[in-house]
Structure 1
Amino acid sequence: MGCKIAITGMGIISSIGNNVEENFVSLQTRKHGISEIENIDTNLVGKIKTGEIKLSNQELVNKLCLSEDNNITRTTLLGMIAAKEAVDNASIKDINEYKTGLISSTSVAGMDVTEKYFYTYEDFPEMQKYISSHDAGNSSLDIADFLQLKGMVATISTACSSAANAIMMGAKLIKSGTLDRVIVGGTDALSKFTLNGFNSLMILTDSYNTPFDNGRKGLNLGEAAGFLVLESEEVVKKENKKVLAYLSGYGNANDAHHQTASSDNGQGAFLAMEKALEISGLQKEDIDYINVHGTATPNNDLSEGRALLRIFGENKVPEFSSTKAFTGHTLAAAAGIEAVYSILSLQHNMIFPNLNFKTKMEEFDLTPVTEMKQKELRHVLSNSFGFGGNCSTLLFSKA
């Protein structure tokens, strides 16, 4: 097997829990977080459901003990919570003791606030402090400042594969010797921009999303943040650190097919999975479970299913499920929170259920795991495929 990267900490906030333990309990008990919109003033209220975190921005500020005089927007607040949990989980006392960086990802950035005042900032001078919070890079810098991190900070925004690419970049920085430790992941808040944008694409369902079901109608958008702490094996040995799991493989590819649609044969997904296996040194038969991208859109699930069949062969696809029926599709945060779920699967030898599934897709013979299942797991694949054809796969292995 190729060089592995140790995962020593993880943190998460989503619609099914404000930390790792709450998320794990919800996954075990089939408690989803898809609900009516409460925090956003939109004409889509009552028409669609989302994976909304039922905490206001002020409640998040209070939770983080931030000064009232701040310009921190929701995406960053969520990222701070998850990144801080990951650092604490890794038992890091001095974050700058080793060469440490932060690779964060987002697509929404500060839009949840700036979209409200874009045309009228001159009328609301007290809101002008949020202008600098609009861009994606600002959220990463604020998270780094909150963690008191003085090292490298970078931001990735590749739509729904963003956090996977952040995790991948962190691993490469450790392998190259550039850094010893990297906090990696993604964060995205719900906003009117994304709600209206996905609605215009006609890929939102008016009910609950049903991944890999023949009657699937579209996705539920969600908001979340998920971060991991990656460390070199040298640091792990020196500090005698507990390892949660290893990042043993990763792959990124682009199917160059369409701005928002996946290719019919899943070329990008196929290449990403193939590369992750190659880097890990594992064989396809070694994969015990796949946390699929599984957005419940007609195009994505068909494309991903075909890619799975191309990689593994007919009647040989490992057991798989999509956890997006729990949380909704959290965009740039998706691969971050699903990395946490993949590690929880490895730690507890559990496959979390693909909720809402009823009927197998007519195009192929693939059925996700629909009930909580205990199974010895050694290696888990996690897929994340973004707009623009940017496809990424992570491969996690048991510590």
Structure 2
Amino acid sequence: MKRVLVTGMGMVSAIGSSVRENHLSLQAARPGIGKAAYFESQYATSLPFGEVKISNADLKEQLGLQASTGYTRTCLLSDKAFSEAIADAGLTVKELASLDTALISASTVGGMCLTDQLYRDANHKSEGSEYLDAYGCSAHTLKLIKRYGIRGFTDTINTACSSSANAIMLGARLIRSGKVRRAIVGGADSLAKYTVNGFNALKILSQNPCKPFDLRRDGLNLGEAAAYLVLEAKESAHGKRIYGEVAGYGNANDAHHPSAMSDEATGAIKSMQEAIGIAGIDFQEIGYINAHGTGTPNNDQVELFGMQQLFEKIPPYSSTKAFTGHTLGAAGAVEAIYSILSIVNGELFPNLNVQEPIAPKDQTPVFQWADNHQVNYVLSNSFGFGGNCTSLVFGSVN
């Protein structure tokens, strides 16, 4: 099997418009949760969100897309993160167009971020807007294919909150099996009335900044983001900067409930076991866990229970969603990049807002940013609606 190396990363989130800005915010324990400035909703003034601090007009200008049409906010965020990732990896026009290059993206919202416009177009209350081809979850992927001349295998994944983690897993599997030489993987989601109203109906949106793994946690904050990683087979990455390796991956479904995980953590345990098994390492070699940690009563308790069953001593862990909000289809890729930053810089990122942990004293999350830690392997969890659980293991490259 071929080794899968990470040679490029790009992202935009509520805590930064680049990988570097995100990293600085993590180090400074500076969250991006607050009132939304660009998202129009009746909840915009009453609920906190992890909104990207850039308007659509500014995104278009930064990307040179002022004259382009049909670009939703999801498409714009996607393009910004994608362009950073391929530049970071030094991919050429020829490499992008190669049939050996795959693009696998993910989204749950897609063009439905334009919820009101979608309603008008779908119900013939408009003459037909520029976004008629942009409402599907794959619209942003199609924009990237056309703009960057991608000709190889492409796909768009929607498995709710595990979507971009599954995109990473699929890209890694294609490379390991020799189907492609490189894969650009990740995802994008933007704030939308469609999702905000839906999550509000489930009664799992907090009126305060979320507090994953806290005894008094009362829900999540929705966020928006885009993140992409460039994965390459080892023989294709010669001479490039190597951030780390996709060492293992696992996916399982507990099929317990449309929007909750089973109390027995069936899917979570299976996905973590599988990822660590494929990585070929012992459980005690995991130096940090980037937890799914949404801040909902069900998720955090179940995830902690799963870790307790698998680890004799739970490694340092934290949820970074208190920084970014829950970015849905982008979350897996966002947190994959944070996991790699942990490895590269020997850092542990804090679990914000915890006052009274749900875990016993020797199993509490990381409370403060810490460096000078040797982190050889990180486990990153992404658990989606319907029980679709995905775990990724990233490793250092010696």
What's the TM-score once normalised by structure 2's chain length?
A: 0.96
Letter in 2 for 1:66: L
Q: Distance in 1 between matches of 2:363 and 2:298?
A: 15
Matched letter for residue 319 of structure 2: S
Stretch of structure 1 that moved more, 211-220 or 359-368: 359-368
Structure-to-structure mapping, 1:191-230, within 5 angstroms: 191-230=192-231
Residue of structure 1 equivalent to 2:322? 325
The equivalent of 2:311 in structure 1 is 312
Q: 1:120 to 1:162 in 2, by over 3 A?
A: closer
Q: Which amino acid aligns with 2:182?
A: R
* Matches for 1:166-315 after TM superposition, within 5 Å: 166-237=167-238, 240-313=239-312
SS in 2 for 1:337: helix
What SS does structure 1 have at the residue aligned with 2:138?
Answer: helix
The correspondence of residues 349-360 of structure 1 with structure 2, limited to 5 A, is 349-360=346-357
Write the deviation string for residues 144-179 of structure 1: whole angstroms up to 9, x where unpaired.
222222222100000000000000000111112111
Percent identity at matched positions? 44
Q: TM-score scaled by structure 1?
A: 0.95
Q: Deviations over 1:186-223 (max 9, x none)?
A: 10000001110000000010001001000101000000
Aligned AA (2:260): A
Answer yes or no: is the 8 Å Cα contact 1:6–1:236 preserved in 2. yes
| 2:62 is aligned with 1:60 | no
Partner of residue 29, structure 1: 28
Contact 1:360 1:366 in 2 (8 A): no
Amino acid at match of 1:353: P
Distance 2:144 2:350 in 1: 32
CA distance in 2, matches of 1:360, 1:96: 49
Secondary structure (helix, strand or coil) at the match of 1:210 reads coil
Corresponding position: 1:370 with 2:370? no
- State how 1:136-147 maps to structure 2 within 5 Å: 136-147=137-148
Mapped to 1, the partners of 2:331 and 2:83 lie a distance apart of 18
Cα RMSD after superposing both structures: 1.5
Q: Counterpart of 2:52 in 1: which secondary structure?
A: coil
Q: How many residues align?
A: 393
Gaps of 5+ in 1: none
- Name the SS for the 2:131 alignment partner: helix
**Structure 1 pair 35–4 and aligned structure 2 pair: CA distance change class (3 A):** same
Bigger Cα displacement from structure 2, 92-101 vs 70-79: 92-101
Task: Give the C-alpha shift of residue 280 in structure 1.
Answer: 0.6
1:393 aligns with one of 391, 394, 397: 391
Residue identity in the other structure for 1:227:
Y
User: 1:333-360 CA deviation, whole Å, 9 max, x = no partner?
Assistant: 0011101111111111000100101102
Supply the AA of the counterpart residue of 1:334.
A
3-state SS in 2 of match to 1:250: strand
Distance 1:123 1:257 in 2: 40
Give 3-state SS (helix, strand or coil) of 1:339's partner: helix
Aligned amino acid, residue 83 of structure 1: F
